[in-house]
Structure 1
Amino acid sequence: TTPPPTTTPPPAGGCTVTYTPNTWSGGFTAEIRIANRGAAINGWTFTFQPGAGVRLSGGWNGEWSQAGDRITVRNAAWNGSLPTGGTVSVGWQGTFTGATLPAPSAFNLNGTACS
């Protein structure tokens, strides 16, 4: 007899984020790697809260903006497709007040929370 085929469960959805900062006195750069755990995406928007006193100076691999305590990055023309299991890397530069760079929080990909 032939065993039944193995089925792979569907992806759990959402995304996972790896955040890697490089800091110096009052400034930093940070790489954000976003892994898509849901259905394939054609056109993405990623948002997060950078922490109190953190200001966006500029970014790369996306269109960056800040409104209050929320930073938004939208895909660039060349990286809008994000397949299931795919990863996109974006980065940004900013300033912060205080002795240490606050940890960012509330990561979302197209409105779905990331872990």
Structure 2
Amino acid sequence: MAKYTLTGQWQGGFQADVTVTAGGSPISSWTVAWRFSDGQTVTQSWNATITSSGSEVTARNVSYNGALGAGASTQFGFLGSSNGANSVPSVTCTAI
């Protein structure tokens, strides 16, 4: 599972963190995806590799935080730009 949290907002920008938590079994990698509905873009990220195609965003684990034990969590974050509205998107998480 993944939880998106808006941690800061300012004129023209914002910061968000996403917590990824393994379920009842260990995982070896994860991917989190979401769709921005207000034209936001990611400008910088840490603890994940983030790619965008239009409003679709995909974050993948990096080498040191993909493997998680059952119930364990990791976090990644990013800075973004926005033009006013900044709705929190729904996220989906896929784990292997």
TM range (shorter): 0.7 to 0.9
Counterpart residue type for residue 92 of structure 2: N
Larger Rg: 1
Counterpart of 2:53 in structure 1 is 67
In 1, Cα distance between equivalents of 2:17 and 2:86? 14
> 1 or 2 for the larger relative contact order (CA 8 Å, sep ≥6)?
2
Q: Which stretch of the first structure deviates more once superposed, 31-40 or 83-92?
A: 31-40
Shift of residue 44, structure 1, vs aligned partner: 1.3
Indicate the RMSD between aligned Cα atoms, in angstroms. 1.7
* Partner SS state of residue 81, structure 1: coil
Counterpart of 2:9 in structure 1 is 23
Cα gap change, 1:60 to 1:16, in 2 (>3 Å): closer
Counterpart of 1:101 in structure 2 is 86
With normalisation by structure 1, the TM-score equals 0.73
The percent of aligned pairs where both chains have the same amino acid is 26
Q: Which runs of 5+ in 2 are unaligned?
A: none
Cα gap change, 1:73 to 1:16, in 2 (>3 Å): closer
Counterpart residue type for residue 68 of structure 1: G
Of 65, 73, 92, which residue of structure 2 is paired with 1:79? 65
CA contact (8 A) 1:16 1:37 kept: no
Cα gap change, 1:46 to 1:16, in 2 (>3 Å): closer
In 1, Cα distance between equivalents of 2:40 and 2:24? 30
In 1, Cα distance between equivalents of 2:7 and 2:15? 6
Counterpart of 1:43 in structure 2 is 29
Q: Which stretch of the first structure deviates more once superposed, 16-25 or 67-76?
A: 16-25
In 2, Cα distance between equivalents of 1:86 and 1:19? 18
Cα gap change, 1:102 to 1:33, in 2 (>3 Å): same
